Structure formats: structure tokens, C-alpha cells
Amino acid sequence: MTIWALIPIKEQGRGKTRLAPVLSPQERDELVEAMLGRVTAATQAVVARTILLGPARGHFAAITDTGDGLNAALDKALASIVNGGSAPARLLVIAGDLPTLTADEVRTLAALPAGTIGIATDRHSTGTNALSLPLPEAAGFRFHYGTSSAALHRKAAQALGLNAVTITLPGLAKDIDDPSDLKDAELTFALAN
């Protein structure tokens, strides 16, 4: 079974702005790149192809973010992948700000049975940090990142007649959004104050 990963990422200078009270622009860029490196290392150990949604970085394929918002960009990226001629059997959509993500956690996302969508929730169990989409069954899936996204993604799975399972693993749950989250990043990366 062919599995791909799609990782949304903002261009340099635009990521993690809520951390501005405690990190300089350069420190925020360094943090974003370090977390992206951690996430891509975990995906590359598991999947056949890792694609960035946003500006190209390194040797990774990239799909341009049209600037219409994350959900619209993900909807378009999914359609592009599905209609690209050699779509994978499963697409993992993984946030780029997971500083403790492991390859084993990516394997858990990848190992779901056919017809099942996996929703990896954040530490509050309300947000979504990763999705595991079976293709072509979930080709019409609509993304709902934002407030209460986990519940909205369950409804999107149900609308397609697909089973949805919740995945709660430490590296998938610990994202970096606010200054209070930085202790999780410090487990992996040395941040300057």
C-alpha cells in the first residue's frame, strides 16, 4: 500500500506569530524549521513520499498554497493528489509543528484499515494535528481546521460514510501554538531566550 504525507507549512517570517512575545522573528523561523525537520524525518521513515503544502524547502515536492486559507488550500491539495494520476492508497496530513513526533506514531496513522479515517487530536482533544485519509474513499473529504476541528472532521468522515477513529499519542498531541507550549519544543530543540 502506497502512503504519502502532506505537511502544511507557512513561508518564512509568517509562522508562529503567537510566539512573538517570547521569541524573535529569527528564533520563530528557526523553531519552525527545526520542527519541520523533525516531522519530515518521522514521515520519511514511513511513507513513500512527503509533500509540503506551501513554499518549497529542500528536496521535498511542494504544492503551492493559493492563500485562500488552510482549509481551502488543503481541499485543493487533496483534489490535486487524487487527480494526479498516481494517488496513494492513504494520505497522511500532518501538522508541521509537532516537535516530539516519532516515526512509530506516523506508522500508527499509516496502519489504519481501509475505509477508516484517523483523527489525531491535540492535547486538548478538540483540535486536529493529523489526519489519515484512505483513498480514493476519502477523495471528497472536506477540511475543517480551526475551532473544534476534531468534531468537525468526524462529521466530515461520517458525511462520506467512513468510520472515524480518534488517535491520541504524545508526539501527535503536542503542537506548539502558544508560549506555554514551548516546554515541549525544548525537549527536542535548544531555544535561545
Calpha distance 43→35 (Å, rounded): 12
Nearest to residue 5, comparing CAs of 42, 50, 45, 35?
50
Domain spans of the chain, in order of start: 3-186
Calpha distance 80→86 (Å, rounded): 11
* Separation of CA 150 from chain center: 13
Q: Does 3.90.550.10 match the CATH number of domain 3-186?
A: yes
pTM for this predicted structure = 0.90
Neighbours of 185 (CB within 10 A): 24
Please answer whether residues 133 and 47 qualify as being in contact, where contact means their C-beta atoms are separated by less than 8 angstroms. Answer: no
- Residue whose C-alpha cell is 521569541: 23
Nearest to residue 89, comparing CAs of 106, 60, 112, 120?
112
Cα-only R_g, the chain: 16
Please answer whether residues 6 and 51 qualify as being in contact, where contact means their C-beta atoms are separated by less than 8 angstroms. Answer: yes
The pLDDT, as a whole number, for residue 66 is: 80
Calpha distance 16→58 (Å, rounded): 20
Q: Residue 101: left if φ>0, alpha if ψ -120 to 50, beta else—which one?
A: beta
Instruction: Please give the full DSSP string across 143-166, using - where no structure is assigned.
Output: ---STTHHHHHHHHHHHTT-EEEE
**Exposure on the CB side of residue 147, measured as CA atoms within 13 A:** 0
The pLDDT, as a whole number, for residue 191 is: 43
Query: In tens digits, what is the pLDDT along the chain, a chain of 193 residues?
Result: 899 999 999 777 565 656 666 678 888 788 888 889 999 999 999 999 999 999 888 889 999 888 789 999 999 999 999 998 889 999 999 999 898 999 999 999 999 999 999 999 998 899 999 999 999 999 999 999 999 999 999 999 999 999 999 999 999 998 876 666 666 666 455 443 3
The pLDDT, as a whole number, for residue 192 is: 36
b (16+ CB within 10 A) / e for 26-56: ebbbbbbbbbbbbbbebbeebbebbbbbbee
Calpha distance 5→92 (Å, rounded): 5
